[in-house]
Amino acid sequence: MECEQRLNWLILAMICPLIAGAPSSMSKRHGSCPDENLNIDGGSFALSNNYSDGSFLRYICPDGYYPSVQSRLCQYGLWTPKTSARKPPKCQKVTCPNPRVLENGEVTPYKNRYYVNDTTTYSCHYDYKFRGTAVRVCKPNGKWNGTTPICGRDSDHCPDPGVPPGSSRTGHRFNIDNKVTYRCDSTLTLIGSKERVCQDGGQWSGTEPQCYAHFTYDTPEEVSEAFSSALKSNLAVSRGDQQGKKITLDQGGKLDIYIAVDASNSIDKDNFYKAKHTVKLLIEKISYYEVSPNYEILMFATDVHPIITMKNFKSIRDKDKITKVFEDLDNFKYEDKGDRTGTNIAKLYSYIHESMKIEESINAMSFLETQHIIIVFTDGQANMGGNPIPKVNKIKYHITKNDPKREKKLDLYVFGVGKDVNKYDVNGLVSLRDREKYFFMLPDLDKVQETFDHMLDESTSVELCGIHQDYDDDNKRRAFPWLAQINVVRSSHSSRCMGSLVTSTYILTAAQCFKNGDTADKITVLLEKNLKVLKVKKYILHPKYNNTAKQHMKIKEYFEFDVALIKLEKALTMSANLRPICIPCTKETNGALRLSDSEGTCRKHEELLMSNELVDAFFTSNMEIGTDVPRKIRHITIKRGKYRDACVEDAKKAVGVNVTNARDVVTDNFLCSGGNEPQTDDVACKGESGGATYINKKGRLIQVGVVSWGVKDICTRRNPDPVSQAATRDYHTNLFSADILSFLKDHLGNDYIGNPLTFF
Ligand SMILES: *[C@@H]1O[C@H](CO)[C@@H](O)[C@H](O)[C@H]1NC(C)=O
Ligand SMILES: *[C@@H]1O[C@H](CO)[C@@H](O)[C@H](O)[C@H]1NC(C)=O
Ligand SMILES: *[C@@H]1O[C@H](CO)[C@@H](O)[C@H](O)[C@H]1NC(C)=O
Ligand SMILES: *[C@@H]1O[C@H](CO)[C@@H](O)[C@H](O)[C@H]1NC(C)=O
Ligand SMILES: *[C@@H]1O[C@H](CO)[C@@H](O)[C@H](O)[C@H]1NC(C)=O
C-alpha cells in the first residue's frame, strides 16, 4: 500500500482511512492544496514547502500553549487531517499533571487543573517527614519544577518512593523485595519504571516514573543536566581518588559508542544535515573528556546504513580517527539515504547487536571489559520490522549475561526528537536504573544541539583547557575565557599587556611588561567582566630574559625569552567564562588533541600543530574599553620552512636594530608572522605583547607562542586594526623551545595552590 510506504505510523493512522477510499481521479490530482481554513486560534503556522504536494504544515503556539492539531500534510490536493471551518484548530493551555496525588500531606491551592505559572505548595501531616520541593511551579513544557514532594515515615528499609504528579501507585510497604507499581492518568504516558523493587542497599530499582502528556517536552537545560551526568560517569577517567558511587572507566578502559540517527522519510534535507551536525557536535563534546572512545555511526530508515562500523573504526590506522569519521559523515549525502520510507528500529538494534558479536569474536576478553553505549536519535515511530524491544533485550542479555553487576556495562539512550514520538514504545528501549534518565524528549534538532552546548557548561568540564565556543551570542567572553589584560602602574610609563590564563593561579604574559622595581601591588589583572581587581602574589620573569643583553651588538632591545608568569594570590574558580588556554606538551592538551596517553609526546604535539610551512594561527587585539572582549581576532600565518628566512630577515629593518645577521635578533626561540606573502596577515599593535598566539584545533585553542615584538608599529588611532605591509613582521616567543618549556614546567607543573599541569 503506497500510503504505508510513504508515511510514518502516526500520520498513517490519521490519513490512511481517508485515502484508502478516495476516488482514483483524486489521487492523481497533484499540485497545490488550498490556502483557506488553515489558521489556528491564538497561533500561527509554518509550511515546509508552500502549498505544494507533500508540504508539512506545523502549528505554532506561544509558550504555555499547545496546538489542538499538531501538524497537517498536503496530500492529493487536500490538507489532512481535515479541520472544520467552524471549529478551527486552536492553541490550548498547557496543563501540568495532577499534583494532588500526594499522600499523607496537603497540596494548596486545590484546583481541578493547573496551568503554566501556577504555583503549588506542599506540606505533610503530623508525624510525616517531608522530602522534595515544597513550592513547585508549572513550567511551559508541562512539568512541575523541582522534584516530587514526598511525605514519608521512613520507617521501612527503603524510603517512601512517593507518587509523582499524574500517577497512582499500588504498594505501601517498603521493605526488601517489596514492589510498587505505577500508572499514569489515562491521557498521560509513563516514562521511567512502571515497577520498582526495594533493594538490599535501601534503594529502589529503576528510575522514578514521570507522566508525560503528548505536549510534554524536556528543556535543553533538563536534558543536558541529566544526559551529561549520566554520560559523564562513563567519560570521566577514574583517578583512584574520586571513586564515587557511579562507575567510572578505568584508565585505558575501553568505550564503544554506537550512535544511530533516524533518517526516515519525515526528515527533510535541512533536518538531515542538522542531524549529521548533531552527531558531530556530540562526538566533539565527548572528545573534551579524557577518553578516546570507539564509534559506530549509523543512519537508519527502512534499512540501516553504516557511516562507519565499529570494526572499521578500530581498524583505522590514522591517528586522527575522528577526522576520518567527520569526513565520512560529510561525504554522506541526503540522496544517499536510500529507501527511507520506513522506520525500522528493530533492524537498527539487530544491526548493532551483530556489530557487538563481531567485536566479541575478535577479542572476547576485551569485549567483556568494554563499556557499551548506544545513543539513538529518532523522530518517528517503528512502523516496520516489528517490536524493537525484544532486540534490545537480546543486546542487554548479551552484555550483562544476566549478571546484575554487569548491568552497568551497557547504557541505552534514546533522544525522541519531534512532535510525533511514541513515548510509550521508546521508553522500553532505554536503560532504567540508577535514578538516572535515559530517555529524552525534545521538540526538534535545534533543541538537541542546544542541549549539547549546555553540556559543556557543566561543572566537570570547566577545567578543560582551550574550550572555544564560536557561536554568535551575547556572551563573547565564552570564546576567549582565558583572555587577560594586564596593567602595571608606575609613576611614569605605565605598561599595558595582554596575557592568558594557563592554570587557575597563573597568567602567562611577556617579560617586557615588567621593569626593574615593579612590585606585585602595582599589577592589576582584568580577566572576567565585572571581576574585582585580582590580587597578584608575584611575577616571575624567564631567568634568561635580558633586554639589554645585546646592546654591544647594536641591538637596543633584545627580546629572547620574553615570557613571564603572574601568580595570583588565590586560585580562581573556573566557569564557562573563565577557563585556561591549552599549553602544549601537557597531558591536559593531549585530550584537546584527541591523543591517548601513550601517543602523547611533545614532538607529537608539535607535529600536529606546527608541521605546515604556513601555520594558521591567531592572537587577539587588546580589549575594548570597559569590556572583557577583544576588539578583534588577529589572523596570522606562522612562517616556517622556506617562508621563515624572509620573515626573520626583515628584523633588520626594525628601529634600534643594526645587524648584519638577522638571526642575532630573531633566534630559533621565536616564531615569525606578518607580511603580505603568500597572504596578508594582521599585525600586532602596542599593548598586545604578552597575548597568546594560538592555534584553533577543532574548537580547542592551544597556545603556541607569546606575542613579543614587531618590526614596525603601524597602528594608529584612526586605524587601530591595520593589516600587514610587506615587511611588518611580528615575532612571538616559541612555546616549543626547550628553554621556554622548562620555565613553564618549573612553575605550572608545581602549581599547588591551583591545579598543576602535567608536563611530559
Ligand atoms: C513559496 O512561495 C514563495 C512565493 O510564492 C516563493 O518565493 C518561495 O520560494 C516558495 N517556497 C518554496 C519552498 O517553494
Ligand atoms: C509565565 O510567567 C512568565 C514570567 O512572569 C511570563 O513571561 C510568561 O508569559 C507566563 N506564561 C504564561 C503562559 O502565562
Ligand atoms: C521553581 O520555579 C520557581 C519560579 O521560577 C522558582 O522560584 C523556584 O526556585 C523553582 N524551584 C526549583 C526547586 O527549581
Ligand atoms: C644583561 O646583559 C648585559 C650584557 O651582557 C649584562 O651586562 C647585564 O648584567 C645583564 N643583566 C642581567 C640582569 O643579567
Ligand atoms: C649601522 O652600523 C654601521 C656600522 O657599524 C654604521 O656605519 C651605520 O651608520 C649604522 N646604521 C644606522 C642606521 O645606525
Assess whether the C-beta atom of 49 lies below 6 angstroms from ligand 1. Answer: yes
Given a cut of 50, is residue 576 above it in pLDDT?
Answer: yes
User: Which one of 27, 62, 93 terminates a domain?
Assistant: 93
394 shares its domain with 495: no
Q: How far is the CA of 235 from the centre of ligand 4 (A)?
A: 51
What pLDDT score was predicted for residue 462?
53
Interval 146-178: pLDDT, tens: 889 999 987 888 999 999 999 999 999 999 999
Q: How far is the CA of 651 from the centre of ligand 5 (A)?
A: 15
Q: How far is the CA of 48 from the centre of ligand 1 (A)?
A: 10
427 shares its domain with 298: yes
Assess whether the C-beta atom of 145 lies below 6 angstroms from ligand 3. Answer: yes
- Say which CATH number the domain at 25 has: 2.10.70.10
Q: What is the DSSP letter of 671?
A: E
Domain assignment present for 206 = no
> For ligand 3, what atom is nearest to the CA of residue 145?
1
Assess whether the C-beta atom of 251 lies below 6 angstroms from ligand 1. Answer: no
Q: Which one, of 423, 345, 426, lies nearest residue 384 by Cα?
A: 345
Given a cut of 70, is residue 265 above it in pLDDT?
Answer: no
Tell me which ligand sits closest to the C-alpha of residue 270: 1
Given a cut of 60, is residue 50 above it in pLDDT?
Answer: yes
636 shares its domain with 706: yes
Assess whether the C-beta atom of 116 lies below 6 angstroms from ligand 2. Answer: yes
Q: How far is the CA of 342 from the centre of ligand 1 (A)?
A: 29
What pLDDT score was predicted for residue 293?
85
How would you classify the pairing of strands 371-378 and 255-262?
A: parallel
User: Which residue type occupies 363?
Assistant: N
> For ligand 2, what atom is nearest to the CA of residue 64?
13
Q: Give me the residues paired with residue 488 across strands.
A: 495, 523
Q: Do the beta carbons of residue 501 and residue 482 sit within 8 Å? A: yes
Given a cut of 70, is residue 559 above it in pLDDT?
Answer: yes
pLDDT category of residue 238 using cuts at 50, 70 and 90: very low
> For ligand 3, what atom is nearest to the CA of residue 136?
1
Question: Looking at residues 127-151, what average pLDDT do you find?
Answer: 93
Please give, one letter per residue, the 3-state secondary structure of 461-486: HCCCCCECCCCCCCCHHHHCCCEEEE
Q: How far is the CA of 58 from the centre of ligand 5 (A)?
A: 78
Interval 614-670: pLDDT, tens: 999 999 988 777 677 788 889 999 999 999 999 999 999 988 888 889 999 999 999
Residues 6+ apart with CB under 8 A from 330: 276
Q: Alpha carbon 10 to chain centroid distance?
A: 32
Given a cut of 80, is residue 12 above it in pLDDT?
Answer: no
What pLDDT score was predicted for residue 233?
62
Given a cut of 60, is residue 309 above it in pLDDT?
Answer: yes
Given a cut of 70, is residue 612 above it in pLDDT?
Answer: yes
Residues 6+ apart with CB under 8 A from 673: 617, 636, 637, 638, 639, 647, 681, 693, 729, 730, 732
648 shares its domain with 706: yes
Nearest CA to ligand 3 atom 2: 137
Given a cut of 70, is residue 323 above it in pLDDT?
Answer: yes
Q: Do the beta carbons of residue 180 and residue 171 sit within 8 Å? A: yes
Assess whether the C-beta atom of 119 lies below 6 angstroms from ligand 2. Answer: no
Count of structural domains within the chain: 4
What pLDDT score was predicted for residue 664?
92
Give the helix/strand (H/E) hosting 324: helix 321-331
Assess whether the C-beta atom of 557 lies below 6 angstroms from ligand 4. Answer: no
Domain assignment present for 542 = yes
- Say which CATH number the domain at 381 has: 3.40.50.410
77 shares its domain with 126: no
Residue 320 CB burial class (10 angstroms; 0-12, 13-18, ≥19): middle
Q: How far is the CA of 35 from the centre of ligand 1 (A)?
A: 14
**Integer-rounded Cα radius of gyration of the chain:** 31
What pLDDT score was predicted for residue 162?
93
- Say which CATH number the domain at 493 has: 2.40.10.120
Q: How far is the CA of 749 from the centre of ligand 2 (A)?
A: 51
Given a cut of 80, is residue 741 above it in pLDDT?
Answer: yes
d(CA 70, CA 85): 17
Q: How far is the CA of 672 from the centre of ligand 5 (A)?
A: 25
User: Which residue type occupies 307?
Assistant: I
Q: Alpha carbon 571 to chain centroid distance?
A: 26
d(CA 338, CA 404): 40
User: Which residue type occupies 496?
Assistant: R
What pLDDT score was predicted for residue 241?
36
Assess whether the C-beta atom of 121 lies below 6 angstroms from ligand 3. Answer: no
Q: How far is the CA of 142 from the centre of ligand 3 (A)?
A: 15
User: Which one of 93, 114, 140 terminates a domain?
Assistant: 93
Phi then psi for 203, rounded to 5 degrees?
A: -120, 155
Given a cut of 90, is residue 429 above it in pLDDT?
Answer: no
Domain assignment present for 195 = no
d(CA 32, CA 613): 58
88 shares its domain with 110: no
396 shares its domain with 520: no
Domain extent, residue 516, equals 477-748
Q: Do the beta carbons of residue 646 and residue 675 sit within 8 Å? A: yes
Q: How far is the CA of 488 from the centre of ligand 3 (A)?
A: 45
570 shares its domain with 690: yes
**Mutual angle of helices 345-362 and 389-400, in 10-degree steps:** 20
557 shares its domain with 706: yes
Domain assignment present for 203 = no
**C-alpha separations of 539 from 278, 375, 563, 708 in Å:** 44, 49, 11, 17
Q: Which one, of 525, 531, 500, lies nearest residue 701 by Cα?
A: 500
Given a cut of 50, is residue 28 above it in pLDDT?
Answer: no
Q: Which one, of 31, 28, 1, lies nearest residue 16 by Cα?
A: 1
Residue among 117, 139, 143, 145 whose CB has most ligand 2 atoms within 8 A, to mutate: 117
Tell me which ligand sits closest to the C-alpha of residue 543: 4
What pLDDT score was predicted for residue 349?
94
Assess whether the C-beta atom of 50 lies below 6 angstroms from ligand 1. Answer: yes
Q: How far is the CA of 81 from the centre of ligand 2 (A)?
A: 31
Q: How far is the CA of 716 from the centre of ligand 5 (A)?
A: 29
Tell me which ligand sits closest to the C-alpha of residue 144: 3
Domain assignment present for 726 = yes
> For ligand 1, what atom is nearest to the CA of residue 52?
14
Q: Under DSSP, is residue 578 helix (H, G, I), strand (E, B) or coil?
A: strand
Residues 6+ apart with CB under 8 A from 10: 380, 381, 420, 422
Q: Do the beta carbons of residue 110 and residue 101 sit within 8 Å? A: no
Domain assignment present for 560 = yes
Phi then psi for 679, rounded to 5 degrees?
A: -140, 165
Residue among 33, 35, 49, 50 whose CB has most ligand 1 atoms within 8 A, to mutate: 50
The HSE-up count of residue 497 (CA atoms within 13 Å, CB side) is 33
What is the DSSP code string of 10-37?
Answer: HHHHHHHHHHHTS-HHHHH--SB---SS
Q: How far is the CA of 548 from the centre of ligand 4 (A)?
A: 6
18 shares its domain with 113: no
Most confident of 86-90, 261-265, 335-339: 86-90
User: Which one of 93, 115, 140 terminates a domain?
Assistant: 93
Give the helix/strand (H/E) hosting 566: strand 564-568
Nearest CA to ligand 1 atom 2: 50
**C-alpha separations of 286 from 242, 318, 367, 594 in Å:** 20, 19, 21, 10
Q: Do the beta carbons of residue 514 and residue 564 sit within 8 Å? A: yes
Question: Looking at residues 684-696, what average pLDDT do you find?
Answer: 93
Q: Under DSSP, is residue 601 helix (H, G, I), strand (E, B) or coil?
A: coil
Give the dihedral sign, CA 687/689/694/700: negative
Do you find a cis peptide bond into 164, omega within 30 degrees of 0? Answer: no
What pLDDT score was predicted for residue 24?
33
Q: How far is the CA of 139 from the centre of ligand 3 (A)?
A: 10
Residues 6+ apart with CB under 8 A from 230: 411, 413, 434, 436, 437, 438
Cell 604578552 belongs to residue: 690
Domain assignment present for 412 = yes
Q: How far is the CA of 115 from the centre of ligand 2 (A)?
A: 11
How would you classify the pairing of strands 483-488 and 495-501?
A: antiparallel
408 shares its domain with 483: no
Q: Do the beta carbons of residue 423 and residue 378 sit within 8 Å? A: no
Residue among 145, 148, 221 whose CB has most ligand 3 atoms within 8 A, to mutate: 145
Domain assignment present for 179 = yes
Q: Where are the alpha helices (DSSP H) in 525-656?
A: 587-592, 602-610, 644-649
> For ligand 4, what atom is nearest to the CA of residue 551?
4
Given a cut of 70, is residue 212 above it in pLDDT?
Answer: yes
> For ligand 4, what atom is nearest to the CA of residue 546?
1
User: Mean pLDDT for the chain?
Assistant: 83
Give the helix/strand (H/E) hosting 547: none
Assess whether the C-beta atom of 548 lies below 6 angstroms from ligand 4. Answer: yes
Assess whether the C-beta atom of 137 lies below 6 angstroms from ligand 3. Answer: yes
Assess whether the C-beta atom of 238 lies below 6 angstroms from ligand 3. Answer: no
163 shares its domain with 278: no
> For ligand 4, what atom is nearest to the CA of residue 549?
2
Give the dihedral sign, CA 105/111/112/118: negative
Cell 519531534 belongs to residue: 418
pLDDT category of residue 10 using cuts at 50, 70 and 90: very low
Can you list the positions of beta strands (E) in 54-111? 56-60, 65-67, 71-75, 78-80, 91-93, 95-96, 105-108
Q: Which one, of 161, 158, 105, 93, lies nearest residue 136 by Cα?
A: 105
Question: Looking at residues 32-50, what average pLDDT do you find?
Answer: 85
